[in-house]
Structure 1
Amino acid sequence: MQSDLNDTSTVMPLSAGQCLRVRVAAGTVLRAGVGELEVAGPPQWLADTCYVPRRRLRAGDMWIVPARGWLAVSASRAGALLVTAPPGWLPRLRAWLAWSWRRTGPARQPVSRPIPDSAPERL
């Protein structure tokens, strides 16, 4: 199925032992191409403590970032990370309008009919 949204994807190759810090928006999709990657972040507050969740992505794994923030991506083996940013509000609005247009169809013009005169003039 084709998508009406234009996604922006970036491939980031990482060698073994390399660490990359990247800022992402909520809804960003991370996909591990090859290798093994560890993703730390984005930092979150848990009561009065800053908690940094960690995830391990192996080849083919995917993760959708739940909140915006900074991520630290480190590679234990050489690999590649595919980062797909979510579309902004304008492409989403256009897609929604196109979808609703297809669903309802174009607006029809009203049919004009003469209105009957209930009290015709008599001369």
Structure 2
Amino acid sequence: MPWADPPRPRPHPRFATQALLVQVAVLLLIIGLGFALVAYLLHAELERQYEQRALAVARAVAADDVVIRAVAAHSPGPQVQRRARRYAAAPECCSWWWPTTRASGTPTRTPRGSGTG
């Protein structure tokens, strides 16, 4: 098109604009890293809680007299599985038996009926 003006070069952004864009980019990067760190830590804590719950179920099932007799007789049968499912489905599973443990693996309280808890 012969009658159109030639394109003009685009002006460079001012220094203040460039500095603001860099600040916004750094701020967004820090916020993103912060969210990633929080998500990682929450995931690790949730995994630890599930491990503690599984350990509590295992301890409660292992302390059940019916389970002990069935395993000692080498014939666990379906009653052991039913009991394990019942313990796992219970709210606050087995906290009455063996509550949460410390990082060292030692219980914070002793089981009820042991005379020391």
How does the TM-score come out when normalised to structure 2? Answer: 0.23
- Comparing both chains, which one has the higher relative contact order based on Cα–Cα distances under 8 Å and sequence gaps of 6 or more? 1
Please state which structure has a larger fraction of its residues in helix: 2
Q: Which has the larger radius of gyration?
A: 2
